[in-house]
Structure 1
Amino acid sequence: MGFESNAITRRPLGALVPAVIPALLLAACGGPALSPTVLPPTPVPASAPASAPTAARLTLPLRVPSTTWRVQSAATVRVSGGGSAAGPEQRVQSNAVVSWSAERQPSGAVRAAGQVDSFTVRTSFDSQRSVQLPSTPAMILLEAVLDSTVVRVATKPPLANECDRPEAGAGALARELLVRVPDGVMRGDRWQDSSVTLICRNGVPMTAYTAMISRLESVDADRLVIRREISSRFEGKGGTAFRGLELSGTGSGVQRVEISSQRGTVERLEGSGTLTLMTTERLPGSPARTQQIVQRTEFSAVRR
């Protein structure tokens, strides 16, 4: 699949970068994951009274009722390098209404069915016009599996080719509302998940390596709060024998998740992240040209 001569100058801002995030930072769909590990809680100081009450261990409902959220992702993008000065900061905003119902296991594994509708993307690349992405169905049906070996969100029916499809971006927004919380954790406990995901944007296949550490910060009869720290690494290559494009980068993010202790549903999710990508274009007989893309993203979801 070829690239135009401006493949890493102006055109990727409207094609590659907005599509990559939140799909990359938010780890949209597919790919095997390493087995999660529950990390020990912060040790109790030696001076703590021996008679201090034991903290309650958490158990969430195994059936999570159908729930709907208003989801928004807002990003700023800046490109520099490639023999030119840094361009102006651009903006990309995605909005959707997401619904999920799910069944979970004591390990925190989740099997869910849901949908995305009202999915729109607004960018400064199209003169501030708010548009419905072309060829996006009015409603996108999804099914998901989230456990110790698989993290996958897929459309129903499955797409023959997910590369550059807007449904993949919609699935990325919906994916964040599926949170794995093992039974038996206490306040202060941490657990870790790692995944390897294959994705494709602007015709460039990429591999995303993501690690997430979750910590139960507080829990009571009504609500629990989880802090998630996310780190990612990306690698990809694409192009033709006459023009190639290489991608590499890293990302990091933090999320705060509020979950109903009674229902097991996410009540509110807020997060932010930064992605830095290096793109290198190689043409026969010409020196390689490299650009840096920095994107900062704010994500929020509120139960309706």
Structure 2
Amino acid sequence: MLPARLPTTTWRVRSVARVTVTGSGVTGAATDEQGVESTGLVSWSAERQPSGALRATGLVDSFTVRTSFGAQRGAMVPSSTAMVLLEGTLDSTLTRISTRPPLINECDRPEAGAASLARDLLVRVPNGLVAGDRWKDSFVALICRSGVPLTVYTTIVSRLERLAEDRLVVRRELTSRLEGKGGSAFRALELAGTAQGSQLVEIAPLRGTVERLEGSGTLTLTATERLPGAPVRTQQITQRTELTAVRR
């Protein structure tokens, strides 16, 4: 049994993504691999139910994004945003991370990126587990990419690999399906894709908090663009991501 109240905890989080775009209309340097690195200090405190469900409040500080998109070859251009306050709700069928106050439009906002960086630090672990037990979470979320709203259907299968007095070790396998449409009367854009990933999470039983998280994943998106009187253009975006979080 993990505690009912999880104390305020801060992690240093780093996400590194490598993005490749191929397909019609992509030439030259555009086909090269581009990089996006996001870092920040994430803090959460939470109330926990016996099912593992969490209601949390938190923040992201020192959030910085470094990207090579639009930069000279090999260079990384940094950008940062002010402190972002967050609220989180997590159970077996719902994961909702929102800013305080809520954003009127989350599409491609840096605050939404900060919230995404904090999401994986909320991990549902039910009471009464023994080593080898599995449990499943599934939820639907809305995100935005390049001005296109996307519906994301995610399933997480977790397994308690180790149960000891000083440490719980949980392995999580994540699969997602994404789809969305956007654009205007003169330009229609459709996005569809899948994602797979895995995470290894270490949890301190007495505190109930994540001590360390390491994960990796691959997202593949197909973008279809339709313009009046023009051939259909299709591009494929592949994004490989590595995530690490360590408690301070």
| TM-score bucket of the superposed structures, by smaller chain | over 0.9
Residue in 1 aligned with 2:164? 220
Q: How far is 1:130 from its partner?
A: 4.3
Q: Does residue 1:103 correspond to 2:47, yes or no?
A: yes
Q: Does residue 1:73 correspond to 2:15, yes or no?
A: yes
Percent of aligned pairs sharing the same letter: 67
Secondary structure (helix, strand or coil) at the match of 2:113 reads helix
Query: What CA deviation, in whole Å up to 9, does each residue of 1:125-173 have, x standing for no partner?
Result: 234344224xx3x211111111134311111111111111111110011
- C-alpha separation in 2, matches of 1:130 and 1:241: 34
- C-alpha separation in 2, matches of 1:84 and 1:163: 24
Secondary structure (helix, strand or coil) at the match of 2:103 reads coil
Q: Does residue 1:60 correspond to 2:60, yes or no?
A: no
Q: How does 1:206-245 map to 2 (within 5 A)?
A: 206-245=150-189
- C-alpha separation in 2, matches of 1:226 and 1:152: 21
Larger radius of gyration: 1
Secondary structure (helix, strand or coil) at the match of 2:31 reads coil
Alpha-carbon RMSD: 1.2
Q: How far is 1:179 from its partner?
A: 0.2
Q: How does 1:1-80 map to 2 (within 5 A)?
A: 59-80=1-22
Normalized per residue, the structure richer in strand is 2
Contact kept in structure 2, 1:120 and 1:130, CA below 8 Å: no
- C-alpha separation in 2, matches of 1:107 and 1:236: 32
Secondary structure (helix, strand or coil) at the match of 1:73 reads strand
Q: How does 1:81-230 map to 2 (within 5 A)?
A: 81-84=23-26, 87-125=31-69, 126-127=71-72, 128-133=75-80, 136=81, 138-230=82-174
Q: Does residue 1:287 correspond to 2:231, yes or no?
A: yes
Alignment TM-score, normalising by the size of structure 2: 0.95
- C-alpha separation in 2, matches of 1:164 and 1:129: 19
- C-alpha separation in 1, matches of 2:199 and 2:53: 20
**Higher-RCO chain (CA-CA 8 Å, sequence separation at least 6):** 1
- Change in Cα spacing, 1:80 to 1:129, as seen in structure 2 (3 Å) is closer
- C-alpha separation in 2, matches of 1:299 and 1:188: 24
Contact kept in structure 1, 2:153 and 2:178, CA below 8 Å: yes
Query: What CA deviation, in whole Å up to 9, does each residue of 1:87-115 have, x standing for no partner?
Result: 11111100000001111000000011111
Secondary structure (helix, strand or coil) at the match of 2:115 reads helix
Contact kept in structure 2, 1:196 and 1:210, CA below 8 Å: yes
- C-alpha separation in 1, matches of 2:180 and 2:224: 11
Paired letter, 1:96: G
Paired letter, 1:261: P
- C-alpha separation in 2, matches of 1:259 and 1:82: 46
- C-alpha separation in 1, matches of 2:144 and 2:153: 14
Runs of 5+ in structure 2 lacking a partner?
none
Query: Which of 197, 201, 214 is the equivalent residue of 1:270?
Result: 214
Contact kept in structure 2, 1:252 and 1:274, CA below 8 Å: yes
Secondary structure (helix, strand or coil) at the match of 1:160 reads coil
Contact kept in structure 1, 2:92 and 2:136, CA below 8 Å: no
How many pairs were matched up? 243
Contact kept in structure 2, 1:204 and 1:236, CA below 8 Å: yes
Query: What CA deviation, in whole Å up to 9, does each residue of 1:248-267 have, x standing for no partner?
Result: 00000000000001111100
Alignment TM-score, normalising by the size of structure 1: 0.78
- C-alpha separation in 2, matches of 1:116 and 1:302: 14
Q: How far is 1:282 from its partner?
A: 0.3
Q: Does residue 1:303 correspond to 2:247, yes or no?
A: yes
Q: How far is 1:83 from its partner?
A: 4.7
- C-alpha separation in 1, matches of 2:20 and 2:7: 41
Paired letter, 1:172: S
